[in-house]
Amino acid sequence: MRSAIIIGGGPAGLSAARTLVRAGHDDVLVLERNPEAGGLPRFAAHPGWGMLDFHRLWSGPTYARKLVAAARGAEIRTNTTVTALLPGGGVEVSGPGGMERLWAHTVLLAAGIREMPRGARLLSGTRPWGVLGTGAFQELVYAGGVRPFQQPVILGTELVAFSALLTARHAGIRPVAMLEEAPRITARRPGDWIAHHLLGVPVRTATRLVAIEGGARVEAVRVEQAGRQERIACDGVILSGRFVPEAALVRAGPLQFDAATGGPAIDNHFRCTDPAFFAAGNVLRPVEHSGAAALEGIAAARAMAQALAGTLPAPAQGIPVQAQGGLRYVYPQRLLPGDAPIRLCARASGEKRGRLRVLADGEVVQERRLHALPDRRITLTLPAAVLRGVRSLSVELA
């Protein structure tokens, strides 16, 4: 039996592998379904990667190579898909050698996220060629050397949408617009100013894509703004964002699934409800940038190393945590009090100004004013003393 199996060879999984190897575990196995490890950064050649974990500024492919190199000492199996999780630290896999079962004392879920396809977005219109997710678009450009279109629209204004915009610029593609249903962009400003004034791409907020038009290829999109519809000529649509965790294994397996985050429920040691399993990175929730995912992978691996050494606090029911009011979710979903402060992460269900409160058994123990924006991480740190003797915890934005 191995010390650790890691499902997913992206920033979270490879960072966890590096941490475990450096802790002295030489039998770590990383399972990656793609032909190469490195995750989504492999197809994002613009700079901006590696700042949080390596304290360097690299392109995506360079960052991916550095992640793989830093995990040297771990075994990385590519073209290998995990098909099931088994209670107690087992996984069923399908790979070049066929089907097999593998076991480890600890298993880390780090499978990341996937983009919501067109059908799940309920976009109407015809079904022409030229509608791509960001990942597929970047892979076509960087790995295949293909320019799938010349003048697409980009749907969404998350960070990944601006990554798609930079990919388009690299390939000589000139998007005609970025569309955002909300009254402001999702990514931080001045992203919209940069897109418009430096890259020449107008960013249209409060604008809904109504339908895609075209025969064999995309010819236009119909959009609605302030109750009026118009037609924008284009030859492609890049569907960015609307990410969901790759949590099918959790739904079908022995672990508790959290409908609010869309991923596995964990305690403050990144441990799932089956104590052999841990989870880190974007499988926990949609979506954080690669650096945040990598740091979670490192933290989860440290907890796994403690579990292997027998020094991690024993699994217990813990203190349940609930999100209330204007919050979409909060995690970890259960807390095991100890001597160290505990960090909670949350996200609002929409833009809201109010007071963020932490209530322990109904009593307010922490409070601050907050202007919350959609898809922005909210973090809280709870002193250890706050949780002593507490039976339930809730976090609310009201």
> Within this chain, do residues 20 and 128 fall inside the same structural domain, yes or no?
no
Q: Is the pLDDT of residue 287 over 90?
A: no
Taking CA atoms, 129 is separated from 132, 176, 311, 327, 365, in Å, by 9, 18, 55, 38, 54
Q: Which residue has the tokens 């190579």?
A: 65
- pLDDT, residue 335, reads 97
> Within this chain, do residues 292 and 346 fall inside the same structural domain, yes or no?
no
**Mean of the pLDDT values across residues 308-330?**
95
> Within this chain, do residues 110 and 248 fall inside the same structural domain, yes or no?
yes
Report residue 273: phi and psi, to 5°.
-70, -25
- pLDDT, residue 316, reads 87
Q: Which regions of 166-273 does DSSP assign to beta strands (E)?
A: 177-179, 203-204, 207-214, 218-225, 228-233, 236-239, 243-245, 257-258, 263-264
Q: Is the pLDDT of residue 15 over 90?
A: yes
> Within this chain, do residues 280 and 351 fall inside the same structural domain, yes or no?
no
Taking CA atoms, 340 is separated from 275, 337, 368, in Å, by 20, 8, 22
- CATH of residue 352's domain is 2.60.40
More confident of the two residues 6 and 119: 6
> Within this chain, do residues 224 and 275 fall inside the same structural domain, yes or no?
no
More confident of the two residues 327 and 144: 327
Q: Is the pLDDT of residue 18 over 80?
A: yes
Q: Is the pLDDT of residue 199 over 90?
A: no
> Within this chain, do residues 162 and 261 fall inside the same structural domain, yes or no?
no
> Within this chain, do residues 136 and 173 fall inside the same structural domain, yes or no?
yes
Domain end call among 215, 239, 263: 239
Domain end call among 293, 315, 337: 315
Domain end call among 188, 205, 239: 239
> Within this chain, do residues 226 and 205 fall inside the same structural domain, yes or no?
yes
> Within this chain, do residues 329 and 273 fall inside the same structural domain, yes or no?
no
> Within this chain, do residues 132 and 193 fall inside the same structural domain, yes or no?
yes
- pLDDT, residue 285, reads 95
> Within this chain, do residues 24 and 107 fall inside the same structural domain, yes or no?
yes
Domain range for residue 186? 117-239
> Within this chain, do residues 223 and 124 fall inside the same structural domain, yes or no?
yes
Total domain count for the chain?
Answer: 3
Q: Is the pLDDT of residue 243 over 90?
A: no
> Kind of pairing, strands 98-109 and 277-279?
parallel
Largest Cα separation within the chain, whole Å, is 65
Q: Is the pLDDT of residue 354 over 80?
A: yes
Question: String of b and e for 278-290 (b: at least 16 CB within 10 Å)?
Answer: bbbbbbbbbbbbb
Spatial separation of the C-alpha atoms in residues 98 and 93, rounded to whole Å: 8
Q: Which of 340, 346, 350, 335 is nearest to 380 (CA)?
A: 346
- CATH of residue 70's domain is 3.50.50.60
Check: CB of residue 304 under 8 Å from CB of residue 314: no
